[in-house]
Amino acid sequence: MGRSIDIFCAGELLVDFATAEFVRTPDEATLFRRIPGGSPANLSMNMARLGNKAMLAATVGNDEMGTVLKNYVARIGVDVSCITQVDEPTTLFLEMRTSSGSSLQTYRSADYMLSIRQFPYSRFDDISLFYTTCFALSRPPAQHVLLEAAEKANRAGVKLSIDANYSEKIWPDRREAQRIIAEYCRMGAIIKISDQDFLKLYGEEKSAPEAVLDQFLKMGAQEICYTLGANGSWVADEDERFFIPAREVEVKDPIGAGDAFWAGYLTALLEEKGLQERALAGRQLAEIKLSNFGPLPDHLDRNILYQDTTGQ
């Protein structure tokens, strides 16, 4: 897309303690593995792993865990000059992976302490994509900082992208969340939302996928990716739409699969691939993530994104 910085991700960088194995009940969870987490952080690292130039704006604690996280992201190849350490503790996720699904407990502290000083406005003309999440937008001061940054990025010709990973537990004011997502859509954003997030955000359990796509496009979104888990995904813009079926894979770790999907999708977008090919690239990388525990390998040959062109 012709700019020197492929993606600027803004939002949460945190530590995710996940059970090392699937357990039948939470009582059995005694061994945990430490994994760097947060969708903006995951996406920035996945984009860097694919050879993209990525930057991350985030706040972590001025503690040992915060330093570990910042160093880890830097080692993957992400520009960490916009990561700040603050006096609040580093945010923590506690993930219980059971055979029937996962439960998540969040201990929020440093992640929402973003400052406008962390954003390199003078470099926005060099950025292709600006990405954030509902999680990051759910609490001030990060909420106000991110909205201001997104508006300035849009005026600089940067494409906006958001993962509408809504959780009422994290963001109790659903109407506020709806309003802010609508603001993003009006700026021509590229939206990713799952069927579960859509249900939690809008309470419309039986909405047909086509109606969901139309809803966001009418709000002004440039593109919409509507994921249905094991039932596949839909992608659409004003001119075309495609259904991408899911394929059976051995699931070893579902954490971060959505971020992997979006890294594949946005990498293909940067390479000006077609809408369907972008979705297939996303599926390809999500399958790799699902079949491996923990983060993706540090370096990925981006050609793996285009090994499947069948849509089946």
pLDDT digits (tens, 9 = 90+) for 228-247: 888 899 999 999 999 998 78
Q: Please determine, for residue 105, whether its predicted confidence score (pLDDT) is greater than 70.
A: yes
Q: How confident is the model at residue 33 (pLDDT cuts 50, 70, 90)?
A: confident
Average pLDDT, the chain: 89
What pLDDT is stored for residue 115 in this prediction?
96
Report if residue 308 sits inside a domain: no
CB 15 within 8 A of CB 36: yes
For the CA atoms of the chain, what is the radius of gyration? 18
In whole angstroms, give the CA distance from residue 282 to residue 263: 7
Whether 245 maps to a domain, the answer reads yes
Q: Is residue 242 part of a domain?
A: yes
144 occurs within a structural domain: yes
Does residue 303 fall inside a structural domain? Answer: no
Which percentage of the chain shows pLDDT scores above 90?
A: 68
Higher pLDDT, 186 or 295: 186
- The structural domain count of the chain equals 1
Is 37 part of any domain? yes
Q: What is the mean pLDDT of residues 58-83?
A: 96
| CATH code: domain of residue 61 | 3.40.1190.20
Residue 300 covered by a domain = no
Structure tokens at 58: 């985030």
Q: Is 19 within a domain?
A: yes
Domain containing 43 equals: 5-294
